[in-house]
Copies of this chain bind each other. A is one copy, B any other.
Amino acid sequence: MIKVFGHTSPDTDSAASAIVWAWYLSEIQGTPARPFLLGTPNTEAAFVLKHWGVEQPQMLDLAAGDEVVIVDTNNPAELPANIADASITAIIDHHLLIGGLHTKTPIDITIRPLACTATIMYDLMGSAVEKAPNQIKGLMLSCILSDTLEFRSPTTTPHDRAVAEDLARHLRVDISAFAAEMFAAKSDVSAYSEAALLTMDSKAYEVGGKELRISVLETTSPAQILSRKDALIAAMPGVAADKGADQVLLFIVDILNEEATLIIPNDLVRTIAEKSFGVTAKGDTVVLPGVMSRKKQIIPVLAV
């Protein structure tokens, strides 16, 4: 039985695309497979699974020699510590090649510069997509709407959009109404601690000798998060120490206004903000107009 899973701190694409691919392997390819999670899904992912009537996958328990398919990441830091002892049979991802994973034999690796893992799966499945039940089609649509922020993110390609629109047509889903429900679920972060908010969508990135955690919160209600700014700043050193990082950068992405607010807790982050984004950052936050994508608009420009 092949174990299919995405990254730690599962978001919609990571949780749902694992379910989609496990379905494809089991039902179309005839290779028994099951999806697993590497943590509690975020509020949007939990909403999406419930909306489509899909059971939440179990937490991964990975043993040496297990056959696995990795989706939505190729970064060992976002995978179980013992991933090197597993037998990786495939990787499907849309992130930059981080260069940390290696395999003992040639395997199937498909990485595409698309907005979403589910879009790549749609392409890999070919005509088998037609055999997918509505649940699976709904999960794929949800992944694309989540990762593209309903086509607002600059990571969106015409192909991602076309695939989402094709799925929505089949499902008779009103994209705007459904995306609004998803984003409302994602924006309800009242149950999370500050430390949880700082790590729920966070990637390690090294620049200029500094080990940074680049954390992003996508929301339709930035004020809800910004009202906790002081507590978030207070929680940053502990989270950084816990992750072995020098600093946490928190970008609050306002989905509807298409801008990000970066919290500035100290002079290091102030320097990073000014050098990376060409802004003047005087207070303890700075607004970055148009910035919505860590992958396209944050990671490539980061300078310390």
Q: Which residues of A contact B (CB under 8 A)?
A: 91, 94-114, 295-296, 300
A and B contact pairs by CB, cutoff 8 A, 27 listed: A91-B97, A95-B106, A96-B102, A96-B103, A96-B104, A96-B105, A97-B101, A97-B102, A97-B106, A97-B107, A97-B109, A98-B102, A99-B99, A99-B100, A99-B102, A104-B300, A105-B295, A105-B296, A105-B300, A106-B111, A106-B112, A107-B113, A108-B111, A108-B112, A109-B111, A109-B112, A110-B111
A96 touches B106 (CB 8 A): yes
Task: Tell which of B94, B96, B98, B106 touches A295, judged by Cβ atoms closer than 8 Å.
Answer: B106
The interface residues of chain A, by DSSP majority, are classed as loop
CB-CB under 8 A from A97, the residues of chain B are 91, 101-103, 106-107, 109
Report the Cα distance A102→B104, complex, angstroms: 18
Report the Cα distance A94→B95, complex, angstroms: 20
How far apart are A108's CB and chain B's nearest CB, in angstroms? 6
B101 touches A99 (CB 8 A): yes
How far apart are A276's CB and chain B's nearest CB, in angstroms? 14
A111 touches B105 (CB 8 A): no
CB-CB under 8 A from A99, the residues of chain B are 99-102
A113 touches B106 (CB 8 A): yes
CB-CB under 8 A from A91, the residues of chain B are 97
A105 touches B113 (CB 8 A): yes
B111 touches A107 (CB 8 A): yes
How far apart are A21's CB and chain B's nearest CB, in angstroms? 17
CB-CB under 8 A from A95, the residues of chain B are 106
Residue of B nearest to A89 (CB): B113
